[in-house]
């Protein structure tokens, strides 16, 4: 991490920001306030999200175990394919308009995730599946935050009250959902 004084011009600040967002650099900026030096850190927002998400997950040993089990399950073939996911959803007795919108990537979910997802109410399941099949499959690079440390190789994304943890298989073009969490404290606010 590079230590630098507070930029004095807008151009210097722009160059620092550009180096952070494009170049992946981190900076410690020292600010002199009446003879007292204070420091702030400038890092890319995506990197900050990765750090925060990783720390949040690593606080919960049970969650780490579920993530590892889901990852192992998908790796050993204990998962549902896209068609099986849609069939399971249709068994709930509601018509479905969930369709794949991104032909290049495919989706699978760990069987243990199926049990979690299908314990939600119909509206929640439909919303989550639409997000997975449409937004996440087509925009996983933009939406997701990579995880770090012991969770390296995994990524996470939040959608409303859900946190989805997944692994990308770039060779086979498969997005493997290994865990879904529902935030019990989340409160949906109807848009005005």
Residue 92, pLDDT score = 78
**What is d(CA 24, CA 164) in angstroms, rounded to the nearest whole number?**
25
Residue 103, pLDDT score = 66
Looking at the fold, whether 29 and 116 belong to one and the same domain comes out as: no
Which tokens in the block code for residue 82?
């896209």
β-sheet bridge partners, residue 72: none
β-sheet bridge partners, residue 33: 36
β-sheet bridge partners, residue 146: 155
How big is the chain by its Cα radius of gyration, in Å?
20
- The count of structural domains within the chain is 2
Residue 95, pLDDT score = 63
Residue 184, pLDDT score = 61
Evaluate whether residue 74 is within a structural domain. Answer: yes
Residue 99, pLDDT score = 67
Residue 191, pLDDT score = 52
Per-residue pLDDT of the chain (192 residues; tens, 9 = 90+): 788 877 877 888 888 888 888 877 888 888 888 889 888 888 998 899 999 999 999 999 999 999 999 999 999 999 999 889 888 888 877 666 666 666 688 999 999 999 899 889 888 888 999 899 888 988 888 888 999 999 999 999 999 899 999 999 999 999 999 999 987 666 555 555
Residue 5, pLDDT score = 77
Looking at the fold, whether 106 and 162 belong to one and the same domain comes out as: yes
Looking at the fold, whether 139 and 98 belong to one and the same domain comes out as: yes
Residue 192, pLDDT score = 54
Evaluate whether residue 190 is within a structural domain. Answer: no
Looking at the fold, whether 58 and 122 belong to one and the same domain comes out as: yes
Query: The domain containing residue 112 runs over which residues?
Result: 45-182
**What is d(CA 93, CA 83) in angstroms, rounded to the nearest whole number?**
16
What's 127's domain CATH number? 3.30.2310.20
Residue 31, pLDDT score = 85
Looking at the fold, whether 35 and 49 belong to one and the same domain comes out as: no
């Amino acid at each position: 991490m590079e230590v630098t004084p507070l930029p004095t011009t807008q151009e210097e600040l722009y160059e620092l920001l550009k180096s952070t967002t494009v170049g992946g650099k981190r900076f410690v900026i020292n600010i002199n306030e009446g003879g007292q030096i204070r420091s702030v850190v400038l890092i890319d927002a995506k990197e900050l999200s990765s750090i925060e998400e990783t720390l949040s997950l690593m606080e919960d040993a049970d969650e780490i175990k579920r993530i590892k089990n889901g990852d192992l399950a998908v790796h050993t073939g204990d998962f549902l394919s896209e068609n099986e996911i849609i069939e399971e959803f249709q068994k709930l007795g509601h018509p479905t308009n969930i369709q794949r919108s991104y032909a290049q990537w495919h989706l699978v979910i760990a069987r243990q995730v199926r049990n979690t997802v299908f314990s939600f109410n119909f509206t929640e399941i439909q919303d989550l599946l639409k997000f997975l099949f449409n937004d996440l499959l087509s925009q996983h690079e933009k939406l997701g935050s990579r995880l770090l440390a012991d969770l390296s190789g995994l990524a996470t994304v939040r959608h409303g009250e859900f946190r989805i943890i997944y692994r990308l298989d770039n060779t086979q073009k498969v997005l493997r959902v290994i865990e879904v969490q529902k935030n019990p404290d989340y409160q949906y606010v109807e848009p005005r």
